[in-house]
Amino acid sequence: MRNWAGNLAYAAHDLVRPTSLEELADVLAVGGPVRALGSRHSFNDLADTTGTHVQVDGLDDGRPAVDLDTGTGVVSVNAGLRYGELSRALEAEGRAVTQLASLPHISVAGAVATATHGSGDSNRSLASAVVGLELMTTAGELRRITRDTDPEVFAGTVVSLGALGIVTRLELATVPAFQVRQDVALDLPWQTVLEHFDAVTGSAYSVSLFTSWDEPTVRAAWFKSVVSDGGGRRPEPVPGLPWAEHDVHPVPGVDPAACTAQHGVPGPSHERLSHFRLDHTPSAGEELQSEYLLPRRHAAEAIEAMRALGPRVAPLLLTGEIRTIAADDLWLSPFGEDSIGLHFTWHPRGAEVAALLPVIEDALAPFGARPHWGKVFAADPVALRAAYPRFEDFRALADRFDPQGRLRGGYVARLLG
C-alpha cells in the first residue's frame, strides 16, 4: 500500500476500517504498533507504522457524521470525513468553515494533526478551528478533550501528529455561510510584490502567489475575496494589475478544468477557497511536495533567498506558492506568530529533490523556517525538537497517553525518540 503520491510504500502489515467504537477498541486490544491513516496525503512516513494502520472513515459512533449544534455553531465531525464533504454538509445548514487547504480531498483529522492550512492574512491553520476532539487511546479508553474543560493540555492535543491516540471525532467552530469570488492576475513584477507585500496579501480574504522562482515576475496571483450583499469587486492592491482572461492552473501548461471557478464569478466559500474542485482529481498524484513556514516579518528576505536559488530549484519544480497564515497557540503548530508559507510542488524525482532540500533549508534557516510536518524535508528530529518551545511538554503528553509507545511509527518515532 502506498501514499497518495505513490512515492512511499507503507511498512504496515495490515489496514483495518472499524465500523464502531467497539471494533476500534478490539483492534487496539490486540497490541503491537498502530497508527491512524487519513487520506494518505502525507509525502513522508509521518503516518507510517510497522504494525496496523487504522482508518476511521467508515466508523459509526451512533451520531451523524456531521452533527451541527445550531445554537453554538460548533459542528462535531467524523474524523475520517473529507473537508469537501464537510463543507457541502455545512452549506446545506447555512454554515461554513473559515478556511480550506488547496485540496478539499484531505481528511479533517489528518489535516488538523499536521497543521495544514490555506492562505490569508487573518486566516489561521485548519487546526485552529478545533474546540474539542475525541480520541481512543491505545488502552481502549475513549477521551473527549476540549479547550474549555482541558485548558492546560488542549493546545497540545490538536496538532498531535497522531501520537496520542486514534482520533474519532473533532469539534470545529463554524461561521455563517459566505460567498467568495476568485480573480487571477498575471505577471506581477517582483519589485511590486516585495515593496507592497502587505497590500498585495491583504487585499483579499485569501491570496496565493505562484512562481517557479527563476521567473522575472510572479507568474500568477490568485485573489479570493468575500462577496457581501451579492456584490463584490475585484481587488486592486496596486494599480494596473494584468488580469487573466482565461482559466489558469497553478502548474503551467496543465488543463485548468480541475480548478475552482475564476474571473470573479461568486460562489459558496468552499467552492472558491480551495484551488481544486472536490469532484475532480487535481493531478495524477505523481509529484512530491515540500513547504517551509517562517515568520512573516522575514518575508522579503526569505523570498529573495529563494529567488537566488531559482536556477537550481526551477528545473525540479512543477510550481511554487507563497501563502500567508495567522498565528495560533497550538504546541506543534509552526505558526507561533504571523507567518508565510513557501510551498514547492516537485516533479517526482526523489533523489534530486532530496539532494536539493538541505540547500533550501540552509538558505531559509536564518529566518526560523520550519517544515510542514506532512511534506518531504531534510531537517533531522533533533533540530525540529529545538524549534518548538513546547516540545518537551508534548513529549510528556505523548508518554502519558501512550506509555508503551505503540503509536510511535515512522517519523514520529524518530521525533519522539
Work out the average pLDDT over 361-375: 98
State how far the alpha carbon of 131 is from the alpha carbons of 74, 137, 409, in Å.
8, 19, 27
CA distance 96 to 107: 16
% the chain with pLDDT above 90: 94
Cα-flanking dihedrals φ and ψ of residue 217, to 5°? -135, 165
**300 pLDDT higher than 60:** yes
Query: What per-residue confidence (pLDDT) applies to 23?
Result: 97
Cα separation, 198 vs 179, in Å, equals 23
Domains of the chain are 66-177 (3.30.465.10), 179-371 (3.30.70.2520)
pLDDT of 325 over the 70 cut: yes
pLDDT at 9: 93
Q: Which of 296, 301, 283 lies closest to 345 in space, CA to CA?
A: 283
Distance, in Å, from the CA atom of 200 to the CA atom of 209, rounded to the nearest integer, reads: 10
Confidence grade of residue 228 (pLDDT, cut at 50, 70, 90): confident
Apex 102 CA angle, 414 and 385, nearest 5: 20
* Predicted local distance difference test score (pLDDT) of residue 132: 98
Largest Cα span, the chain: 64
- What's the mean per-residue pLDDT of the chain? 95
Q: What is the pLDDT of residues 99-147, one digit of tens each?
A: 999 999 999 999 999 999 999 999 999 999 999 999 999 999 999 999 9
Grid coordinates representing 155 are 493546545
d(CA 114, CA 127): 8
Q: Decide if pLDDT at 285 tops 70.
A: no
- Beta-strand (E) ranges in 24-129? 34-36, 52-54, 66-68, 74-78, 95-96
Q: Give the list of residues 6+ apart from residue 290 with CB closer than 8 angstroms, or none.
A: 43, 343, 344, 346, 353, 357, 360, 371, 372, 375, 376, 377
User: What would the grid cell of residue 27 be?
Assistant: 483492534
Least confidently predicted of 231-240, 307-316, 364-373 = 231-240
- All three cell numbers of 197, joined, read 507585500
Those residues whose C-beta lies under 8 Å from the C-beta of residue 329, and which sit 6 or more positions away, are 155
Whether the Cβ atoms of residue 151 and residue 388 lie closer than 8 Å to each other: no
Interval 249-263: pLDDT, tens: 999 999 999 999 999
Taking 90 as the threshold, does the pLDDT of residue 232 lie above it?
A: no
pLDDT interval class at 231 (50, 70, 90): low
Spatial separation of the C-alpha atoms in residues 137 and 129, rounded to whole Å: 23
Please report the sign of the dihedral spanned by the C-alpha atoms of residue 94, residue 100, residue 105, residue 111: negative
**Grid cell of 360 as nine digits:** 533550501
Do residues 33 and 51 lie in contact, with contact meaning Cβ atoms separated by under 8 Å? yes
